[in-house]
Amino acid sequence: MTILILNKEMMPVVKEQDVVPFRNRVKEYATKIGMGLVNQTKLITAASELVRNMLKYGKGGKVYIEVVSKGRENGIRLIFEDKGPGIPDVSLAMKDGFSTGKSLGLGLPGTRRLVSEFDIQSVVGEGTTVTVIKWKNG
């Protein structure tokens, strides 16, 4: 089934202070489509992880916040786009506990568990794009 974009907005995220306003924006959209509190919390937590990765590893970038629909289901799609160094081995990066930043290595695998749909594209030397969708009831 095709996914329709009902609304689209772009936010640059280039510094730590951009994180909280970005999260608030995601929350506004999620509230607007009537997403429940638990799904909202999962979506915003996932968004927070991905935006931190973008800042820490991707030198910042931009995020598209979209209201999308598939059939009767509405949802929020977030596209995180950076022009950082890229990820040499994406399947390794998706493993629980893998980190090149001496961290917990939870961000990517944890995010995948929190959202309804997850996609990551990365090219070394060109950048990384992570796309997630959380359906209102998903």
Ligand X SMILES: Nc1ncnc2c1ncn2[C@@H]1O[C@H](COP(=O)(O)OP(=O)(O)OP(=O)(O)O)[C@@H](O)[C@H]1O
Q: Using CB under 8 A, list all residues that contact another protein.
A: 16-17, 19-20, 23, 37-38, 40-42, 44-45, 48-49, 52, 96, 103-104, 106-107, 109-111, 113-114
Q: Is 128 in the site for ligand X (CB under 6 A)?
A: yes
d(CA 29, CA 46): 15
Among 7-15, 89-97, 101-109, 127-135, the segment contacting Mg ion (CB under 5 A) = 101-109
SS (H, E, C) the chain: CCCEEEEEEEEEECCHHHHHHHHHHHHHHHHHCCCCHHHHHHHHHHHHHHHHHHHHCCCCEEEEEEEEEECCEEEEEEEEEECCCCCCCHHHHCCCCCCCCCCCCCHHHHHHHHCCEEEEEEECCCEEEEEEEEECCC
The interface with ligand X within residues 52-81 (CB under 6 A) comprises 53-54, 57-58
d(CA 51, CA 47): 6
Q: Is 128 in the site for Mg ion (CB under 5 A)?
A: no
Q: Is 123 in the site for ligand X (CB under 6 A)?
A: no
Among Mg ion, another protein, ligand X, none, the one that 118 touches (CB under a kind-dependent 5 to 8 A) is none
Q: Is 131 in the site for ligand X (CB under 6 A)?
A: no
Among 1-9, 66-74, 102-110, 113-121, the segment contacting Mg ion (CB under 5 A) = 102-110
Q: Which amino acid is at 70?
A: K
Q: Is 58 in the site for Mg ion (CB under 5 A)?
A: no
* List 58, 61, 107, 127, residue binding Mg ion (CB under 5 A): 107
